[in-house]
Amino acid sequence: MRIGMILDKEYPPDPRVENEAIELIKQGHDVFLFCLTYGNEKLEEIVQGINVRRYKTNKLEYKLSALAYTFPFYDWFMKPKIKDFVLKNKVDAIHIHDMQIASAVFKANTSTKLPTVLDLHENRPEIMRFYPHLQKTYGKLLISIDKWIKKEEEFVRKATKVVVVTDHAKQELVDRVGVTADKIYAVPNTIRPSFYEGAAKPISYQKESDDFTILYLGDTGTRRGLKTVVLSLLKLRDEKNITNIKFVVIGKPSNYLEKLVADNKLENQVKLMGWQIDTTFPEWIRVSDLCVSPLHRNIHHDTTYANKIFQYMSLGKPLLVSDATAQEDVVKNNGAGLIHTAKDVEGFTEQLLKLYSDKELREALGNSGKEFVRSSFTWDKTSKELIELYKKLD
């Protein structure tokens, strides 16, 4: 089958798109990828077996994408490009990555009537509630979350098949939209064995011999819960005189986080390292004693996995995670770490102290998580639902 994937971003990189495309190519499919370019990249090239087709765009179109379900302008720009892509590459099915461009795709597909796969990388309407520009008056006036929710439900009904990232997300859609479960396939964002088998690039960070290092990889926005960790370190410093716990954050520091650390004079304990090349991630994980994912609770976090937890587990590190439903279930069910109530500094501190003082517990949890990921939860195993979907679509 000739599969036309639609991505409203530049490519590469996009790990989920790459993983899915490569897996489908392994199954004998030809994959063509529609993506955008703002510069002078090659309009056509083959990247890891993927037939990449780039279409020119600009910053205006990018800004209009945020208003995709307020005004029709984004559809007007994207529809002819998508139609050109579908016809030129003679695709047999369309695979839409995320919902932002979905309306334009369905409109472009009116005449061709090809089967469509809607791949929801996340619960976009719910996560939009936390975007900074939607906290401001103009953002609330221009962008309606309710409209995005209604559009998502419309597209789920319209698509031939739907892909989500967890069984929790699948059940949420079944309950909310009223579609049958056999229409939806759960394809988690898991890692490839090469992540933990390959040689990692060295890092400049030097861990002191008596340090206990906590690691966080990823976005540092408030909903990620890093404030809970920082306030816990403050509590331990002021109440128990524990200062050898170091919190290493790999990700672009948010203003609130930098201010929180500075206001509490925690620069010696909280190391904001900025974003690092992803090939160094395994080494950052290896030098840590404990890895965290203190997400706040919301519909999005409760129904998705942060890929970082599988990266952590694959290298045998114990986890301390919040009770966001999906991550709590996978960590608890596989004995990979301890759970704290989201935003609860006291609860986080209590669990942190258990892990801080008990090396045997850390090793047991780390080994359990490592066994689970390496034996059952790498991409070569979790992509089976995607393969099954296309067997039924063919």
Both 30 and 174 in one domain: the answer is yes
Beta strand 2-6 pairing with 30-37: parallel
Both 316 and 353 in one domain: the answer is yes
Report yes or no: 200 and 286 within 8 Å, Cβ to Cβ: yes
Which pLDDT score is estimated for 19?
93
Tokens of residue 194, six digits:
């090469």
Which pLDDT score is estimated for 245?
98
Q: What is the CATH number of the domain that holds 53?
A: 3.40.50.2000
Both 180 and 279 in one domain: the answer is no
Distances (CA, A) of 350 to 31, 239, 291, 339, 354: 49, 13, 16, 10, 7
Which pLDDT score is estimated for 117?
98
Angle between helices 255-263 and 226-240 (to 10 degrees): 0
CA 362 to chain centre: 26
Both 110 and 209 in one domain: the answer is no
Give the separation between CA 28 and CA 382, rounded to whole angstroms. 18
Both 116 and 203 in one domain: the answer is no
Give the separation between CA 172 and CA 182, rounded to whole angstroms. 14
Which pLDDT score is estimated for 39?
93
Tokens of residue 186, six digits:
């759960």
Both 95 and 241 in one domain: the answer is no
Q: Got the DSSP string for 225-285?
A: -HHHHHHHHHHHHHHH----EEEEEESPPPHHHHHHHHHTT-TTTEEE-----GGGHHHHH
Backbone angles phi, psi at 163, to 5 degrees: -115, 135
Both 87 and 208 in one domain: the answer is no
Domain range enclosing 294: 194-376
Both 255 and 276 in one domain: the answer is yes
Which pLDDT score is estimated for 291?
98
Both 260 and 338 in one domain: the answer is yes
Both 66 and 212 in one domain: the answer is no
What's the whole-model pTM score? 0.91
Distances (CA, A) of 37 to 3, 9, 53, 57, 129: 21, 8, 10, 6, 28
Both 222 and 347 in one domain: the answer is yes
**Total structural domains within the chain:** 2
Which pLDDT score is estimated for 215?
98
Residues of the chain scoring pLDDT < 70: none
Which pLDDT score is estimated for 175?
97
Which pLDDT score is estimated for 346?
98
Both 140 and 178 in one domain: the answer is yes
Instruction: Give the DSSP letter of residue 67.
Output: T
Tokens of residue 172, six digits:
């949420």
